[in-house]
Every structure is written in C-alpha cells, then in structure tokens.
Copies of this chain bind each other. A is one copy, B any other.
C-alpha cells in the first residue's frame, strides 16, 4: 500500500479530493492534516472528519495552523460557503480530531516512513512550511509531494497572477519550493482547463446515484452559484480533485516539465505568484515538476470510480 498524507484546508473541492484518496484501493492515507485557508482551521478539521466518516475511513485528522505564517487569514467562504461545504446543512461539528499537532505529525510520519510518504497538499502551505523550518531534513525523506497551488501558466484565481493557496500564504509557499522537496505542482490552470464541471458533467456525476456521488455534487452548491456569477467558465472547477488525481495516478499528467519555480512574497501586486521559469532563463536548477497538461477523461473516470459502488478497501 502506498502511504499518503494529505494536508488540506477542507473546502468543498478538498472534500472531493479526500473521497478520491480515501476510497482508493492502493492508497493508505496515514493522516489528514488541516490548515487554515478556505475556511477556519477548526471548521476544516470538522469537514475532513465528516468526509472521512462518510467514506467509512479510519484515518486520523490532525489540526494544524490557524493562520498563515506572516499574514492574516483571508478565507474563501464566499466561494465555498460559510461552512466551506456549500452551506447545505451538513452536520459539521462535534467530531473529535486526533490528538497531536499537524506540524508534528507531518514530521513524525515522514521520519517514521522515510522515503515512503507521498504528501498531497490541497491548501495553503503553512503546516508543511513550519515543519520544514523546524526540520529542513524532512525534504529529503519524502517520496513525493504533490502541491495544488500556483499556476503553471496563465492567470490566477484571486488576483491577475495569484492563485489562492499560494496567495494566502506566500511565505509558506516559497519555503516549500526552496526546501528541496520533490514537488509536483498542479496549478489552477490544470483545474480550469481539465477539471471544469459543466451542467452535463454535474448531472453525470450525480447520476451515479451513490451517497458519495451526491455528496460530491451537493457540497459545491455555493461554489456553483459563485462560479456562474463570477467566472466565464461553463460551470465550476475542482482544483483539489484533479491534483489528487495526478497524485493517485501520474498518468493523469500528460505534460510534466522539470522547471524552477519560486513564489513572490514581497510584492503586493504579484503576491503569491508562482514564478515558473519555463525558458530556463534564470539559470536556476529546476526544483519542481510542473504539470502543464492533464487527461480529463482519466480524471473523470477516477472520480466516478471513487464515488461508485465499490466497497472501501
């Protein structure tokens, strides 16, 4: 079994990504660590606990940082709902997180399973960055680190050049990219290009008919309305699930380039921008594999399979 650790600011797309991982037969999710981002950290933890419970998964959920390293928290509740899960009335409180701090758990698991852990980060990188500050040696002990954040190319989703996760905690993102971790970056461009759900896609997902399928659609209620109002996309897009799809099956990534990436943390204008050196003009050694093209069909199949009837592993 592959050993995965998922760091998440559990909003409505993170939840779908969690379902995909928790239901994957070859993956053992050792821990879910929660960070502030889309919603406040404690809400995110409850959302992760709810999702795990729905999947029948016995996975510990650890609470982590309640704010970015050096900036005030700015949530994305307008986009994902006040509860981050579409405000559809789910009972998202009262579950008990595992005891221990996300930052410590990241370090402990990486040390315990040196060379084995596959990290998947779905939110701001505050937890991971703090673990790396405390122990830079972690970077060399991770098998792979899949990061949903930034943009491989093209515009951002919160400013003209900023994607939310990196924008929310640019210092953390820079620390992670400068750390030596074996990063695969799945930017927001991959989401809007390959993970947009138009009405017919939503219908197809719902048509699977399982509680998980309905859950994955229903919790996008606020996102769906917001997207119709504010974007030119045909529907909503789900960044975290397609990032998770790449992590679960690298064949989802059709074009991956080894490039140097760093993150803007000084300028307000370009705050959080992933500066990807496509032309290798900076002379800096590549430090990330950047996904530039993905296989939408395979992704959708994986998602459908994850919410289908197959019993949990």
Chain A residues engaging chain B, CB cutoff 8 angstroms:
65-67, 69-70, 101, 103-104, 126, 130, 133-136, 153-161, 171, 174-175, 231-232, 260, 262, 264-270, 273, 275-279, 281-282
Instruction: Give CA–CA (A160, B275) in the complex, Å.
Output: 7
Q: Give the residue of B66, B175, B266, B270 whose beta carbon is less than 8 angstroms from that of A275.
A: B270
The answer to whether A133 and B130 touch (CB under 8 A), given A174-B70, A232-B279, is yes
Please determine whether A279 and B101 come into contact, CB atoms closer than 8 angstroms. no
Would you give 12 A-B contacts (Cβ < 8 Å), ordered by A? Answer: A69-B175, A70-B171, A103-B134, A153-B153, A155-B279, A160-B277, A160-B281, A232-B279, A262-B269, A266-B268, A269-B270, A270-B275
Residue among A156, A174, A270, A282 with the highest chain B CB neighbour number at 10 A: A270
Instruction: Give CA–CA (A153, B278) in the complex, Å.
Output: 12
Instruction: Give CA–CA (A154, B135) in the complex, Å.
Output: 36
Please determine whether B135 and A101 come into contact, CB atoms closer than 8 angstroms. yes
Please determine whether A155 and B264 come into contact, CB atoms closer than 8 angstroms. no
A133: chain B residues at CB < 8 Å are 65, 69, 126, 130, 133
A174: chain B residues at CB < 8 Å are 70
Known: A130-B130, A160-B279, A269-B270. 4 other contacts (CB 8 A): A65-B133, A70-B174, A155-B276, A159-B281
Instruction: Give CA–CA (A152, B67) in the complex, Å.
Output: 29
Q: Which residue of B lies closest to A259 (CB)?
A: B160
Instruction: Give CA–CA (A156, B273) in the complex, Å.
Output: 14
CB distance from A173 to the nearest CB of B (A): 11
A171: chain B residues at CB < 8 Å are 69-70, 171
Q: Which residue of B lies closest to A262 (CB)?
A: B269
Residue among A69, A103, A157, A260 with the highest chain B CB neighbour number at 10 A: A69
A159: chain B residues at CB < 8 Å are 281-282
Instruction: Give CA–CA (A160, B279) in the complex, Å.
Output: 7
Instruction: Give CA–CA (A231, B279) in the complex, Å.
Output: 8
Instruction: Give CA–CA (A70, B263) in the complex, Å.
Output: 12
Instruction: Give CA–CA (A9, B62) in the complex, Å.
Output: 34
CB distance from A105 to the nearest CB of B (A): 12
A134: chain B residues at CB < 8 Å are 65, 101, 103-104, 130, 134
A277: chain B residues at CB < 8 Å are 155, 160
A278: chain B residues at CB < 8 Å are 154-155, 160
Instruction: Give CA–CA (A268, B264) in the complex, Å.
Output: 9
A231: chain B residues at CB < 8 Å are 279
Instruction: Give CA–CA (A160, B277) in the complex, Å.
Output: 5
Instruction: Give CA–CA (A260, B160) in the complex, Å.
Output: 9
Q: Give the residue of B66, B161, B265, B267 whose beta carbon is less than 8 angstroms from that of A136.
A: B66
